[in-house]
Chain A
Amino acid sequence: MSRKDKPARNATPQGTTDEDRVDLSRDDSRAVRQRSVRLLGALLRPVRVRFAITVALVVLSQAAKVAGPLLIAFGIDTALPALTATPDSDPLPLILTGGGYVVAALLASWLTAAYLTATARLSQAMLLDLRLQVFRHTQRLSMEFHESYTSGRIISRQTSDLEALRELLDSGISSLASGLVFMALTAVSIFSLDWITGLLVMATAIPMFLLSRWYQKHSQSAYRSSRVVSARLIVHFVETMTGIRAVKAFRREDANAARYDELAEDYRRVTVRSINLNGVFQPGLVLIGNVAVAVVLLAGGFRVLHSALEVGALLALLLATKRFFQPVSQMAMFYNSFQSAQAALEKVSGLLEEVPTVRPPRHPVALPQASGDIRFTDAEFRYGTGPVVLPRLNLHIPAGQTVAVVGATGAGKSTLAKLMSRFYDVTEGSLTLDGVELRELSTADLRRAIVMVTQEAFLFSGSVADNIALGNPAATREQIEAAARDVGADDFIRALPDGYDTDVNKRGGRVSAGQRQLISFARAFLANPAVLILDEATSSLDIPSERMVQSGLQRLLGAQGAVSGRTALIIAHRLSTVAMADRVLVVHEGKIVEDGSPAELISDGGRFAKLHGAWQDSLV
C-alpha cells in the first residue's frame, strides 16, 4: 500500500489521504474521532424528534414493566387479606389487581413493539440519509479523485462501514436508554434505603470509568484496523470479480486464492482482537458489579450484626445493587458497537470530507441555448501539483465547426477533451463556451450543451432502451429508437432476444465492445448537445458500423461548414473520421503543432501529411 508509507508527522489527516493508517498520533486520532462524531450528530439532527419519541417509548416500556412486580406485591399484601377477611370478604382489590396487571401487561408489550418499530424507523432513516449522502458525494467528486480512489473502497464504505452504523442504531439506542433509566431509578431507590450503600455503588464508577478508558483506547485502534483490513478484503474481492475473464485466462486463481486467504486471515485476526477486547471489557464490568455486591453485603452485614440495619433492608439493598449492574453488560455491548461504528464513520466522514476539485459554481451564469463557440485563452493544465501537461494554449473553435485532433498516443489529445467536458478545470487561463467560463455554468446547462463519448462504453444494468435514455431521460421510445437508427444500432438491437427491452446484464456481458460503442453513440445522439466530444469513440467499431455512425454523425453535426450545425471535437486515429472534419489539430507533447483544413495540412507536408500517408498505406 502506497498510502501507508507517507510520513506520520504531517498535518491532521484530511479526507481519504492516509485512511489506511491505524496508529494515529494523539491529535490526529482525536481529529478523526471528532469528525466521526460530528457526522453522527449531523445524521441525528434531522431525526431528533423521532429520536426523542423512541427514547420516550423505551423509558415508558421500562416503567410499564416495573408496574408488574408492584401489582404482585399489592395483590399479596392487600388483595389477599381483603379477600380472606372473615366477616366481610372484599373481592374488589383482587379484581383491581388482576385488571391492573392485564393493563400493565398490555401497555408493556405494546410499548415494546412500538419502540422496536420506532428504533427501526429511526435507524433506517439515518442510514438512508447517510447512504444518499455518500452516493451523492461520490458522484460529485471529480474524476481526479475517482482515478485514484478504488471503486472497491467506495463499495466498502457503502456496505460494510454502513453495516457497522446500522448495528449501533438497531441495538444501541434502546439498550442505552433503557439501561440508563433503569440504573437511575435503581440508584434512587438504593439511596432512599441507605446512603452508605448508595455511595458504595457510586464508587464503582471509578473502576468502571478506568476500564472503559482502557477499552476505548484499545478498541479504537482495533476497530480502525478492522475497517482498513475489511476494505482491503473488499477491494480484492471486487477486483477479482470484475476482472474474472483475465483472472481465468491468466490462471490467477491460485495466486488470488492465496492472497485472499491471507487477507481473510488478517481480517479474522483483527476481528478476534476486537472481540477479545470486548471479552475483557464486558466480564470486567460484570466483575466490578459482583465485587460491589460482596462489599455491600459485608458493609451492610456488619451493621446488621450491630443492629444498625434491618435484615430485610439489607436483602433489599443486595437485590437492588445486583439489579443496578444488570444493564451494564448491555451497555457494554452498546459501547462496543459504538466504537465499531465510530471507526466506520471515521472512514465515511473522510470520504465525505473530500472536496471536489471541479465544483459547480455558486452563482451560475445561465446559458439555456448554447451555440457551441469554444475558446481556450492562455489555458494551462497540470494534474494536481504535477508537471504541466498542457502548456499555454490559445484555441478558438467557432460554433458549428468539426475539429479533428490527431497525434501520437499520450500526446495530450484526451486532456483537451477532458478539459472541454469539464472533467478537469484548467489550472491557468480560461476556457469559455459562448463567452461564458465553463466553471460558471450550472451542471445542468453545461451537460446539456457539452457531451463526451469515450472509448470505454459503460453499460448499466437495465434494458438497452434504459441505457440509451441516459442521454435524455425525458425521451420517448420513438426518440430512443430514432437515435439508435441514426447510429445504425437499430438492427442489432432488434435482433436481441427482447429488442430494446433486453437486459444488457453485467457490464454488457452479452453485447460486444463494438455494440456497446454503438449504444453509447445513440446516447450521445439522443442527448443532442451543442458541442459533441468524441474521444476514440469509434475504436472498436468495424468499418460498416463506423460508416453508419459517420453518416449519422454528419447529419447530427449539420452540413459541413454550416453555421447552424453543432460543434464537434473528434479525437481519432483513423483517417476516415478525420476526413469529415473542417479543421485538423495536430497535437504533440501538449502543444498544437499544426492547425488547418485537412487539405491544407496535406499540402503543407508536415506531420499530418505523413500520418495521412501512413493511413492511406494502411487501408488495404
Chain B
Amino acid sequence: MAHKNTTTLFQTLSRLAPQLHPIRWPLFWGFLSALAASGVALAVPQIYRILVNTALVPGNGTGALWVGAGVVLLLGVLEAGLISLRRQFVIVPVTTVETRMRTSFYAHVQRLAVEFHDRWGSGQLLSRAMSDLNFMRRWMAFGAIMLVVTALTVVIGVGLMFSMSWELGLIFLAAAAPIAIFGFRFRRSYGRASRKSQDQAGDLATTVEESVHGIRVLKAFGRGREALDSFEEQAQELQATEIHKAKSLAVFSLVVTLLPELALGAGLVVGILLVSNGRLDVGALVAFFATAAVVAGPVEAMGPLLAMTFAAKTALDRHFEVIDSTNTITDPEHPVQLDTVRGELEFRDVHFRFPDSPEGTTDLLNGVDLTLQAGETMALVGITGSGKSALLNLVPRLYDVSSGTISLDGVDIRQLSLNDLRRHVSVAFEDTTLFSHSVRENVLLGAAEQGESSPELNEAALERALEVAQAGFAHTLADGVETLIGEEGLSLSGGQRQRIALARAIAARPALLVLDDPLSALDVNTEERVMDRLREELAGTTTLIVAHRPSTVSMADRVALLQDGRITAVGTHAELLAGNEHYRYVLASLTEEPRDLDSDAELSGEPSDELGATPLTHKDQGAGA
C-alpha cells in the first residue's frame, strides 16, 4: 500500500467540500449555536457586575434581585438550549454525510477489479470503511466546529487584552509565534504518526481476519503460539506508534500551555512595574488577567483539537486513496447488445500477465488461440500453474487480457456491458464461495435477476440445478433449502460446497458455462452422475471446463492443452492421448494397471484410421513435455 502523504491539510479538506456542500447551512447554524453558547456564558458575569453595582445593597427591595436571578436563570437555560441546538443542527446531517461516504466507499470498492482486491487485505479496507469514517464524523460534528469556536474565542480574548494594555497584549502575542512554528512541526510529526498507526491498525485487522480464516491450518499444525507471537509483535508495533503519537501530542501540549503561561508570568512582572510607574491602573491589570484566564482554557484545548484535525485528515487521505483507485475493468461507453447469444467463444492471440509481475518475465498466457463452437464442451488441460484458472477468469472479465481479444459470438467481450457479459457467462470456481444465505438464495444468486423471477419458475430452476449438480442433500438439511449456509450458517463439506456452487452456476442458465475444476472434491460415482446430467442439461450451453482427471475430460467434446502459455493442441481425448506426449504426461494415470486400460481403450474405443485422419493442429509443439 502506498504511503503517500503529500497532500496538505487544505487540499484534503477541500476534497471534503463537495460532501459538505449540501449540509453547509446546518453546519453553519451549529457553529453559530456553539458560538452563541460561549457568548451567553460570557454574558452572565456582566449581570453580576450590574447586580453588585445597583441592586445588591443592603436594605434595597427584592424586586431587582428577582429580575436579576430570573435573567441569570434564563441565560442558563439558553446556554443549555444552545448546546443542545448545536447537536440538533449538526448530528443528522453529519451522520448522513458519513453514511453516504461509507456506502459509496463500499459500492466503489465492490466495483474495483479483482486485481485491486488481490493487493488489498479486507481488514485494511474495513478499517477505512469503519474507524476512519467514524473518526471523520466525530471530527465534523465536534472537532471542526469547536476548533473554529476555540480559535475565535482566543482571537477575541487577545483583542480584548490588547484593548486593556498593548504592552501586555504584545507580550502575550509574542508567545504565539513559537506556537505557530511548533504547530507546523507538530502537524508533520503527528500526521505521520497517525497515518502509520491507522495503517498498522488496518494491517492488524487483516492479520486477525487471516488467523480466523486459516484457523484449520493453525490448529492442524498446532501453530497457535506462533500466530499469537507474530500478532503480538504487530500489536506491539501499533502500540509503539500510538505511544509515539501521544508523545508528539504531549510535547505540543507542553508548548501550547507553557508559552502563554510564561508570557503571562512576564506580563505579571511587567504589569506590576507598569502600575507602579502609573502607566496602568490596577483595575485594568485585574481585567487583563481575568481575560487571560478565560483565554487559557481554549488555548489549551487547541492541542487536542488540532491533533484531532490532523488525524481526521489522515482518515480522509486513507478514504480518498481508495476512492481514487480507478477501476481498470469498466463498462464500454457504447455497449453492444447481444439479443440472442449462441455461445461461440473465441480467444485470439490472448496475452495475460498479472499487472504487478516483474519486468522481463514472460506472460503467463502467451498468445492463446482457441475457438469454442456454440454448444460445445471444451476441456482445458494443463499442469498445475500453467494458467488455466487465469484463462478462465478472463472470460467473465474478472481480469482483462493484457493484449489480444476474447470474443463472444464475434463481439469483443470488452464491448459488452459487464452486467450482460456476466449474465451470459456463469462460473464455478475452484474456491467455492458461498454466502451467508439460505441454500435457495445461494443457488438462485445468478438467476434472480433474469427478469422472469416468478416464484414457480425459480422453484423449478432451483430443483433442476440441485438435481443436475447432485446436490439433493440440500433437501435433507434441517430446514431443507431454506437452511442458512455460508459463514453465518451451517458449514458444509468440501464436496457439498462444490455441488452447491455448481448448482448456482447452472441455475443462472448462462449461454456460456465456465467451470474451474468444479468436481475435484467429489467421489467418482457422484462425479459421473453429475457429468451425465450436465451433458444432458447443457446440450446447448457452451462449456469451458478445467479438468485434472481423465473422467472429466472424457465427457468433453474436445480438449485443449495449455502449455507454456499457449494452446499447443486441440482434439478429442483419444486423439490427444494417442498423439501428444505432453498430454499423456499431464493426464496419464498413476498406477501401473491403467496402461493396460489405455491400450484397451485405444483398441476397442477409437478405430485407428480415424486417429490418423484427424489433423492435430499443434502437433509439433505438443511434444516437449
Partners in one complex: yes
The answer, yes or no, to whether B320 is at the interface (CB within 8 Å) is no
Q: Distance (Å) between the CB of A25 and the closest chain B CB? A: 25
Chain A positions 435 through 464: 1 when the CB is less than 8 Å from some CB of chain B, otherwise 0? 000000001101110011111111111000
| Interface core residue of A102, A109, A158, A470 (most chain B CB under 10 Å) | A109
Known: A112-B253, A124-B239, A543-B588. A83 touches B276 (CB 8 A): yes
Chain B residues closer than 8 Å to A362, beta-carbon distance: none
**Residues of chain A lying within 8 A (CB to CB) of residue B251:** 113
Residues of A within 8 A of B68 (CB): 297, 301
Per DSSP, chain B at the interface is helix
A283→B449 CA distance, assembly (Å): 51
Q: Which residue of A lies closest to B137 (CB)?
A: A271
Closest-CB distance, A368 to chain B (whole angstroms) = 15
Contact of B293 with A by CB under 8 A: yes
- Is A30 among interface residues, defined by CB-CB distance under 8 A? no
A146 to B491, CA, bound (A): 10
A147/B99 contact (C-beta < 8 A), A102-B265, A286-B83 known: no
- Asked whether B247 is an interface residue with its Cβ less than 8 Å from the other chain, the reply is yes
CB contacts under 8 Å to B, within A43-96, are 68-69, 71-72, 75-76, 79-80, 83-84, 94
Q: Does B29 contact A (CB under 8 A)?
A: no
B-contacting 9-mer, from A195-203, A244-252, A475-483, A589-597: A244-252
| A314 partner residues in chain B, CB cutoff 8 A | 56
Q: Give the docked Cα–Cα distance between A546 and B429 (Å).
A: 20
B170 interface hit (Cβ, 8 Å): no
Chain A neighbourhood of B396, CB < 8 A:
248-249
Q: Does B51 contact A (CB under 8 A)?
A: yes
Q: Are A305 and B585 in contact (CB under 8 A)?
A: no
A251 & B590 in contact (Cβ 8 Å cutoff): no
Cβ-neighbour of B272 out of A83, A148, A539 (below 8 A): A83
Residues of chain A contacted by B591 (CB below 8 angstroms): 575-576, 579
- Least CB distance, A198 to chain B, in whole angstroms: 19
Q: Are A455 and B521 in contact (CB under 8 A)?
A: yes
Q: A513-B430, A576-B589 are in contact. Are A542 and B208 (CB under 8 A)?
A: no
Does A409 belong to the interface (CB within 8 Å)?
A: yes
Given A84-B276, A233-B130 in contact, is the A458-B58 Cβ separation under 8 Å?
A: no
Is A614 within 8 A of B110, CB to CB? Answer: no
Q: A240-B110, A410-B495, A506-B120 are in contact. Are A109 and B598 (CB under 8 A)?
A: no
Is A614 a contact partner of B525 (Cβ separation < 8 A)? yes
Bound-complex Cα distance A238 to B102 (A) = 14
| Contact assessment for B272 and A116 in the assembled complex, using a CB-CB cutoff below 8 Å | no
- B207-248 contacts to A, CB under 8 A, are 207-224, 226-228, 231-232, 235-236, 239, 242-243, 245-247
Contact residue among B48, B235, B272, B487 (Cβ-Cβ distance under 8 Å from A150): B487
B60 CB contacts on chain A under 8 angstroms? 305
* A294, B449: Cβ atoms closer than 8 Å: no
Q: Which residue of A lies closest to B229 (CB)?
A: A473
**Bound CA–CA A71/B75 (angstroms):** 32
Whether B419 lies near A105 (C-beta < 8 A) is: no
Chain B residues lying within 8 Å of A377, measured Cβ to Cβ, are none
> Which of B213, B227, B493 is close to A139, meaning CB atoms less than 8 Å apart?
B227
- Within B81-117, the residues touching A (CB, 8 Å) are 81, 83-84, 87-88, 91-92, 95-96, 98-99, 102-103, 106-107, 109-111, 114, 117
Interchain CB contact under 8 A, A238 and B253: no
* Residues from chain B with Cβ under 8 Å of A409 in the complex: 493, 495-496, 521-523, 526
Contact B265 A163 (CB under 8 A): no
Q: Which of B208, B435, B523 contacts A573 (CB 8 A)?
A: B523
Q: Is the pair A460, B214 in contact by a Cβ cutoff of 8 Å?
A: yes
**Contact of A251 (CB < 8 Å), options: B419, B487, B526:** B419
Q: Is the CB of B488 within 8 A of A119?
A: no
Known contacts A147-B491, A268-B95, A283-B81; is-contact A120 B246 (Cβ 8 Å):
yes
Contact A512 B221 (CB under 8 A): no
Q: Is B48 touching A573 in the complex (CB atoms < 8 A)?
A: no
> Do B269 and A151 touch (CB < 8 A)?
no
Q: Do A527 and B221 form a contact, CB below 8 Å, given A506-B119, A544-B383?
A: yes
Within 8 A of A (CB), among B430-489: 430-431, 433, 435-436, 445-446, 448-449, 473, 484, 486-489
Interface 1/0 per residue, B389-426 and A, CB below 8 Å: 10001001010000000000000000000110011011
Is the C-beta of A114 less than 8 angstroms from some C-beta in chain B?
Answer: yes
Contact with B along A208-246 (1 / 0, CB 8 A): 000000000000000000000010011101111111111
Q: How many Å lie between the Cα of A509 and that of B286 in the bound state?
A: 71
Instruction: Please give me the residue from chain A that is nearest to B487 by CB atom.
Output: A150
> Which residues of B, 482-534, contact A by the 8 Å Cβ criterion?
484, 486-489, 491, 493-496, 504, 508, 517, 520-528
Least distance between A609 CB and chain B CB atoms (Å): 13
Q: Residue on B with the closest CB to A157?
A: B208
- B residues less than 8 Å from A34 (CB atoms): none
Interface size on B, residues (CB 8 A): 191
Closest CB-CB distance, A542 to chain B, in whole Å?
A: 5
Q: A2-B484, A515-B385 are in contact. Are A132 and B524 (CB under 8 A)?
A: no
Cβ-defined contact, B422 with A249, below 8 A: yes
For residue A40, CB closer than 8 A to chain B, the reply is no
Residues of B within 8 A of A295 (CB): 69
Bound-state Cα–Cα, A459 to B126, Å: 20
Give the shortest distance, in Å, between A550 (CB) and chain B (any CB): 7
Known contacts A108-B261, A279-B91, A514-B385; decide if A101 and B268 are in contact (CB<8 Å).
yes
| Chain B residues in 8 Å Cβ range of A180 | none
Quick check: A76 and B106 within 8 Å, CB to CB?
no
The answer to the question of A518 belonging to the interface, with a C-beta cut-off of 8 Å to chain B, is yes
Q: Does B76 lie at the interface of the complex (its beta carbon under 8 Å from any beta carbon of A)?
A: yes
Q: How far is the CA of A455 from the CA of B300 in the complex (A)?
A: 60
By the criterion CB–CB under 8 Å, are A454 and B384 in contact?
no
Judging by beta carbons under 8 Å apart, are B209 and A151 in contact?
A: yes
Judging by beta carbons under 8 Å apart, are B95 and A272 in contact? yes
Could you tell me if B383 and A611 are in contact, using CB atoms closer than 8 angstroms? no
Of the residues A84, A539, A619, contact of B494 by C-beta under 8 Å: A539
Point out the residues of chain B lying under 8 angstroms from A539, CB to CB.
494, 520-521
Separation of A147 and B88 alpha carbons in the complex (Å): 44
Q: What is the CA–CA distance of A101 and B44 in the complex, to the nearest angstrom?
A: 29
Find out whether the CB atom of A131 lies under 8 angstroms from the CB atom of B206: no
A470's partner among B51, B52, B226 (CB-CB below 8 A) is B226
Residue-wise, chain A 287-308 has the 8 Å CB interface mask toward B (1 for contact) of 1011101110110011011110
- Chain A residues contacting B419 (CB-CB under 8 Å) are 251
Q: How many angstroms from the CA of A121 to the CA of B236 in the assembled complex?
A: 12
Partner of A257, one of B65, B88, B107: B107
The answer to whether A446 touches B222 (Cβ under 8 A) is yes
State in angstroms the CA–CA spacing of A294 and B79 once bound together: 13
Cα separation A460 to B279 with both chains bound (whole Å) = 76
Contacts of B226 in A (CB 8 A): 470, 473
CB distance from A362 to the nearest CB of B (A): 18
Residue A27, interface by CB 8 Å: no
Do B58 and A305 touch (CB < 8 A)? yes
- Whether, in the assembled complex, B165 has its beta carbon less than 8 Å from a beta carbon of chain A, the answer is no
CB distance B56 to A536 under 8 Å? no
Do B239 and A544 touch (CB < 8 A)? no
Task: Known contacts A101-B264, A409-B523; decide if A545 and B384 are in contact (CB<8 Å).
Answer: yes
Residue on A with the closest CB to B247?
A: A117
Report the separation of the CA atoms of residues A255 and B102 in the bound assembly, to the nearest whole angstrom: 16
> Given A244-B114, A245-B114, A513-B389, 12 other A-B contacts at CB below 8 A?
A76-B272, A159-B127, A239-B486, A290-B79, A305-B58, A318-B48, A423-B219, A446-B222, A457-B217, A470-B217, A520-B217, A573-B523
Please list the 10 inter-chain residue pairs (A to B) with the smallest Cβ-Cβ separation, ordered nearest first.
Answer: A447-B222, A290-B76, A120-B246, A105-B261, A618-B551, A101-B265, A514-B384, A109-B258, A287-B80, A241-B122
Query: What would 29 A/B residue contacts be, using CB atoms closer than 8 Å?
Result: A98-B266, A105-B261, A113-B250, A135-B231, A139-B228, A143-B219, A155-B208, A159-B130, A243-B433, A245-B429, A246-B445, A248-B398, A250-B426, A255-B448, A286-B79, A290-B73, A291-B76, A301-B68, A304-B58, A305-B58, A423-B220, A459-B214, A460-B217, A506-B120, A543-B587, A543-B588, A618-B549, A619-B550, A620-B573
